């Protein structure tokens, strides 16, 4: 039996190893703003349950490096959707709001934006309404 492109007893000189998909960290909830108080790893989200303000750990060490990114809106249970919902005063979130899909951004001017890429970045938002 012959297979096209098959070379018997051939070992490639390299091995392709794909990186594993990073595990998504759960959102941390607390009753105060995290900057200077709550330790976290870059990419970690935090919600102040008194104000529902959502923060993202952009970098830094221990309790430093948090940035407020919007308002946290809890998702409905049992809908199977999931994702992040943010709200803020920016008319256009591109270049400003850091998120990965699935995510929605509600601007206080009435526009609604969806994140079109699963990569964590400030780009890739497209306008749905408004």
Query: Are 29 and 81 found together in one domain?
Result: no
Please give the pLDDT value at position 7. 57
Query: Are 55 and 84 found together in one domain?
Result: no
Please give the pLDDT value at position 85. 79
Using 50, 70 and 90 to split pLDDT, how confident is the model at 6? low
Average pLDDT of the chain?
A: 75
Cα gap 37→127, rounded to integer Å: 35
Any domain includes 85: yes
* 36 pLDDT higher than 90: yes
Using 50, 70 and 90 to split pLDDT, how confident is the model at 76? very low
Segments forming the whole domain that contains residue 125: 73-130
Cα gap 116→94, rounded to integer Å: 11
Any domain includes 114: yes
Tally of domains in the chain = 2
* 87 pLDDT higher than 60: yes
Strand order in the sheet with 112-115: 84-88, 103-107, 112-115, 125-129
The first and second tokens of residue 69, run together, are: 């990114």
Query: Are 40 and 65 found together in one domain?
Result: yes
Query: Are 56 and 78 found together in one domain?
Result: no
Cα distances (Å, whole numbers) of residue 7 to 2, 11, 15, 17, 108: 10, 9, 17, 22, 62
């Amino acid at each position: 039996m012959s297979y096209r492109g098959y070379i018997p007893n051939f070992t490639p000189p390299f091995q392709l190893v794909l990186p594993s998909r990073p595990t998504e960290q759960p959102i941390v909830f607390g009753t105060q703003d995290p900057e200077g108080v709550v330790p976290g790893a870059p990419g970690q989200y935090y919600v102040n349950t008194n104000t529902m303000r959502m923060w993202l750990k952009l970098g830094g060490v221990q309790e430093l490096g948090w940035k407020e990114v919007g308002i946290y809106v809890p998702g409905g249970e049992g809908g199977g959707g999931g994702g992040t919902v943010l709200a803020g005063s920016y008319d256009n979130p591109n270049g400003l709001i850091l998120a990965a899909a699935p995510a929605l951004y509600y601007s206080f001017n009435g526009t609604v934006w969806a994140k079109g890429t699963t990569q964590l970045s400030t780009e890739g938002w497209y306008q749905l309404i408004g």
